[in-house]
Amino acid sequence: MKFFDPLILKTEKLISAFPKKEFELCKPWQDAQQAQVIMRRDTAYELEGVGFNLVTSDDVCDSIVVVGDDLGEIKDSRRFARITLVQIEDSDDEQKAYSLIKKIDYVKYHCFPDGYMMRSTSRSHKEAVRVSKQALNDGADFKKIGSLLIEKYKEIPAVKGVKVIFITAKEADYNEAERIAEKNYAITETLNHIMNSVNFDCDTCNLKAICDEVEGMKELHFNKADR
């Protein structure tokens, strides 16, 4: 699975100019087990930006990376990004790999860090987080939140390694993070089209530009058409 590797390189470049803190896994933050609503009066601040996964078959070590302030250091609402690198088993079965990408994306809808309310939609890379005052008082930080997320991702047997990158630095290029997220979404939608569409006429396909740009995508398309 190499389709998203160029976006991983762009992510590494995005954070390269900033000091970063990297953590190994720790005891995960408590999971509320169900969706929660944090009222505005109970909210310390909100984080708003993008949250998405980049899947690869290259090695990824389980870790949490914080670029900027940690939860306890943030004093007011700001932009942020969560970018998760997920290593999966390498496979020649394209349908299996595609199904795995979708399953990995669903993890965020089944993870409910207590006092850390994540809001996103299935057809968007946007992600907003509301952090409660109580969670901060109880010691919530990205290391614990990230450890919980990694625990959830690794409930999927084919997931071999996960790195969660939280970006909160005010000087970070969030427009670039948006562009990476949008390209990630476009590649995923192209895979969806290839795996589920019976129309293989490249001249009429509005996703042709992605097939032309992403290495291996066109070959996958032709292979699928020949079956």
Is residue 101 within 8 A of residue 188, CB to CB? The reply is: yes
Is 181 within the bounds of a domain?
no
- The domain of 137 spans 5-172
Higher pLDDT, 207 or 190: 190
Per-residue pLDDT, averaged over 176-191, amounts to 91
What is the Cα 22 distance to its own chain's centre?
A: 17
Per-residue pLDDT, averaged over 202-220, amounts to 55
Is 209 within the bounds of a domain?
no
- For 6-34, give one letter per residue: b (16+ CB within 10 A) or e: bbbebbeebbeeeeeeebebeebbeeeee
Q: How many CB atoms lie within 10 A of CB 217?
A: 19
Percent of the chain with pLDDT over 70: 84
Q: The whole model's pTM is what?
A: 0.87
* Dist CA 109 CA 219 (whole Å): 32
pLDDT of 158 strictly over 70: yes
Question: What is the per-residue pLDDT for 225?
Answer: 47
Is residue 26 within 8 A of residue 104, CB to CB? The reply is: no
The domain spanning residue 114 has which CATH number?
3.30.1650.10
Is 227 within the bounds of a domain?
no
Lowest mean pLDDT among 91-100, 102-111, 134-143, 201-210: 201-210
Question: What is the per-residue pLDDT for 2?
Answer: 84
Is 57 within the bounds of a domain?
yes
Number of domains in the chain: 1
